[in-house]
Structure 1
């Protein structure tokens, strides 16, 4: 009897250990099952037919909305019988929070979000929270067009992509000016600092709460650090404490020479665009240079608007689409993501009268005819050539660096 009790005790202990292990591994096993449920692309396409993709994305640009709802939506319907529903949001975090809420509520296979336009801190939140569907790149035929050897594509603001998102397009910060008004705009951060003092009231930038304003502040931070190299990788409080005072000193020294003597900062990039359009300031900037041409065509900016990069480089990044772990329409969403990488979709997006966005794919991986069509695309005279801008591209920082810089600006400059 004692032997049976001992044996039963061992069995019970092993069973308990197994159940604990099973509970720990269940989410991973479920994800693995999701990844392995399709043997090839044909099976994915077949399962996708008749499906729906709820794409949550920033909806603040009419041309982008039209491209997604009109062009991409029509192509997915015609080619694969997939219905694309674009859900416009003001901030990507809104979609991320929906997925977080669903996970907390135990909604693990019937989520309301299928696809998110995402990068940076929002990607980090979802990746660290195990909120992403990953490991499907090998299924996507158009993945072969992506240069995953490029660190700026393989890493999203310093975090490895790890097959958890698909690149959609690339962007890089650039400056714009009215060539009929300003003959020699400043071509480096050092020149800009001097130019602002020599041309009081002609320059300003949005507060750090605005995406583009935050990027401009990071350029000054890079300048204070002697380049971004010292800032790459995980956040380092000691390095931050050594560099930040130099950056705040530069920005505070510039402040009296800004628009309205720096008493207030625009709260959004749209406000800076309006100041430039009204000739209240002489310089404008944006993380998406295509907007310069769009604003000229829409009669907002003067036809003599021109754009340029900096001799010491400007910050660039890749933005992506990601599939939440609890999307109920993974097959249809993978087909949509694959189509976004196609030559047709990337070429259409690159047209200046559509969006003018730089392609996420490596054009050199296309056949000669397709590559030639990209090369022949007309470029708006207000927009700097992406390949020229890319020659001096600076990397983005880890989100923890960005948060510290934004908070530091608010406490030491913006207050």
Structure 2
């Protein structure tokens, strides 16, 4: 009985297969329609060429790039010509870095790769130029980047080969209720520290870039400007005067429990400022502004630049010579300098725009308009940074 049921079931299944096959043959119009639809979709995407953008950083960088690429693909003047795709490498994952991959591709004489456009800046750019030289990148033709004329900022490295598109810098963050007239120079800042002991803090170098910037700027203010972009160990012999300066101002730093304290991380000093424990601290402009916009930082906290300025950087785009879509790369660079892209950068990550902001909604980010990107100071000292932090730990961090 069981065997008959199985036989009957198989017969029914075979009949169903035959019927489906006959329907497929008899209904060739439906098959043609499906093929035409697939062909049409392929043709639509085939009209556009793909440009691949490579970037690295924290997750907020990935998120803003996703928003930018969506806008480029849907709303930009180039939307009917190119489709942008993102290859993103999260920093700090322990995997091969984007710099390593680019250097390896160039040194292996690879061609026609998908490294169409790369996002570089600061130490990444310095490392790339050191390893592969400027010749690994296309010398930019400004006639292919019409919006480049809107940008006054210029990279201190490989200026003819990279196009800056956003800025970031360490600034002086302050509570405007406690400090209605903030210092404008380092000398004025030191005088303010003396008059208001315990009301200033910077985080320990090595725990965050803001503290690194304050300490290194303080030391390198006593050195020639070229020292700021050199990893020559001979500069270490000239650090003494700057470290003496850090020793001298140590007594005016934030105090807790009767001892001088250097907070951990950029957030540590910002929390103290927000809680009213201090009135001023160095911090990243984008960090302060994004937290203020989110409502996690009180709105009386403002930002300002001093002279000499703390260090910052210009994030730039470069076209490797071994990519496969140079025209698409130029198109994306030009898009990044539009008001639309610059506003996305401001709103999504509190980036400092590099174009005239008169047509950009800067609500909540008005402080950025007062930052002079042409006054940014770039520091790239390579492995000297490790030696610097070790000396700070032994000479300043132990003062108590």
User: TM-score w.r.t. structure 1 length?
Assistant: 0.67
**What is the distance in 2 between the residues matched to 1:302 and 1:124?**
37
Does residue 250 of structure 2 align to residue 255 of structure 1? Answer: yes
- 1:335 corresponds to which of 331, 355, 361: 331
Once the two structures are TM-superposed, the CA of residue 254 in structure 1 deviates from its matched residue by: 3.2
Q: Give the superposition deviation at 1:87.
A: 1.7
Does 2:269 correspond to 1:272?
yes
1:67 pairs with 2:32: no
Aligned-pair CA distance for 1:399: 3.2
The one of 392, 399, 403 aligned to 2:381: 399
Match of 1:384 among 364, 367, 373: 367
Query: Quick one: distance in 1 between partners of 2:89 and 2:373?
Result: 33
Output one character per residue of 1:272-305: Cα deviation in whole Å (capped at 9) or x when no partner.
3333333333224334x34433212211111212
Is the CA contact (8 Å cut-off) linking 1:189 and 1:223 kept in structure 2? Answer: no
Deviations 1:335-391 (A, max 9, x none): 3223213344235435xx444533335x4xxxxxxxxxx3254545675353x4329
| Residue in structure 1 matched with residue 292 of structure 2 by the alignment | 296
Query: Is residue 359 of structure 1 aligned with residue 353 of structure 2?
Result: yes
**Structure 1 pair 191/67, CA: closer, same or farther in 2 (3 Å)?**
same
> Tell me, what secondary structure is at the counterpart of 1:384?
helix
Question: How far apart, CA to CA, are the structure 2 residues paired with 1:130 and 1:48?
Answer: 35
Per-residue deviation, residues 164-203 of structure 1 (Å, max 9, x unmatched): x221113343212222344454443233334445544433
Cα distance in 2, alignment partners of residues 331 and 186 from structure 1: 47
Say which SS state the counterpart of residue 399 (structure 1) adopts.
Answer: coil
Instruction: Please name the residue that 2:396 is paired with.
Output: 413
- Contact 2:126 2:380 (C-alpha < 8 Å) held by counterparts: no
Q: Go from structure 1 to structure 2 and tell me whether the alpha carbon gap of 1:195 and 1:154 turns closer, same or farther (over 3 Å shift).
A: closer
Q: Secondary structure at the match of 1:129?
A: helix
- Report what 1:349 is aligned to: 345
Aligned residues: 342
Q: 2:141 corresponds to which residue?
A: 138
Hey, what's the Cα distance between the residues in 1 that align with 2:210 and 2:378? 13
Instruction: List alignment gaps of at least 5 residues for structure 1.
Output: 1-45, 364-373
Displacement of 1:397 in angstroms is: 4.0
Cα distance in 1 between the residues matched to 2:63 and 2:141: 30
CA offset digits 1:299-332 (Å, max 9, x no partner) = 1111212222225444444221234454455554
Residue number in structure 1 paired with 2:41: none
CA contact (8 A) 2:138 2:319 kept: no
RMSD value over aligned CA atoms? 3.9
Q: TM-score, normalised by structure 2?
A: 0.69
Q: Within 2, Cα distance between the matches of 1:147 and 1:379?
A: 18
CA distance in 2, matches of 1:112, 1:331: 13
User: Are 1:99 and 2:82 an aligned pair?
Assistant: no
**CA distance in 2: counterparts of 1:88 and 1:232, whole angstroms:** 28
Q: Residues 111, 412 of structure 1: CA spacing in aligned structure 2 closer, same or farther, 3 A cutoff?
A: farther
Contact 1:147 1:153 in 2 (8 A): no
Cα distance between partner residues in 2 of 1:249 and 1:345: 45
Q: Secondary structure at the match of 2:371?
A: helix
Aligned to 2:91: 90
Q: Which residue of structure 2 lines up, in the alignment, with residue 13 of structure 1?
A: none
Contact 1:115 1:323 in 2 (8 A): yes
5+ residue gaps, structure 2, are: 1-44
Q: 2:127 is matched with which residue?
A: 125
- Conserved? CA contact 2:120–2:316, under 8 Å: yes
Q: Does 1:171 align with 2:168?
A: yes
Check 1:114–1:410 CA distance in 2 against 1; reply closer, same or farther (3 A cut): farther
Structure 1 residue aligned with 2:306: 310
Structure number, greater radius of gyration: 2
**Contact 1:47/1:331 (8 A) holds in 2:** no
Q: Tell me: CA distance 1:154–1:394, structure 2 relative to 1, closer, same or farther (3 Å).
A: closer
Q: Which residue of 1 aligns with 2:73?
A: 76
